[in-house]
Amino acid sequence: MLDFQVQTTLDDGTPVLIRPLRPEDHDDILSGFQRLSPHTRYLRYSSVSAKLTPDDLNTLICQDETKCLALGAADLRRPGHYGMGVARYMRCDEEPNTAEIAIVVVDEYQGRGLGSLMLDLLITIARKNGFHTLSGYVLAENRAMIRMLKRVHAHFRSLDGGMIRIDIPLLESSQLKKVVGL
């Protein structure tokens, strides 16, 4: 089981701690989910009425980062409070070298760089664990997420229903040179 903590500050100076989620974080995860606005729920889950089920919570508390990992963020001004945001990846059964990602940040912390910090950590850990690609789905209207994904050179493919499939290649620079013929 991966056990680490990253202490840093957001763009506005908010001190934050990011670490893998643990079973004892259930209440903080639920608290964060309940503080998502209907608009944020829609952008993340494609539904305003999305609910967090016990199975969803258990999926976030994965003990094997070679299969899945969920990171939680805490505002260090509020000790023990992990309801700022969650970023996770989960190995795709049909594509074992690919992991599906999802990121959500509670409204009051959006636009401060938290999503980017968690995405960068997911990329680093997924690469270390042998994944070649992180993939996911985003609504075409989720401009903030699309900007963040462009920063990490994601590839975008439009799908029906206003969805976009994203793929983030995780090849090391030496592997990338071989792929593109450099």
pLDDT band at 175 (very low <50, low <70, confident <90, very high): very low
123-172 pLDDT, tens digit each: 999 999 999 999 999 999 999 999 999 999 999 999 999 999 999 999 76
CB 52 within 8 A of CB 33: yes
Q: Return the CATH class of domain 6-180.
A: alpha beta
CB 89 within 8 A of CB 134: yes
Please report the pLDDT score of residue 172 as a whole number.
Answer: 64
Domain ranges across the chain: 6-180
8-46 pLDDT, tens digit each: 999 999 999 999 998 888 888 888 888 899 999 999 988
Look up residue 126 and give its amino acid. Answer: A
122-137 pLDDT, tens digit each: 999 999 999 999 999 9
Total-model pTM = 0.88
57-114 pLDDT, tens digit each: 888 888 788 899 999 999 999 876 668 999 999 999 999 899 999 999 999 999 999 9
Closest CA to 86 of 77, 130, 62: 62
- The set of residues, in sequence order, having a beta carbon less than 8 Å from that of 106 and lying 6+ positions away, is 32, 35, 36, 40, 83, 84, 85
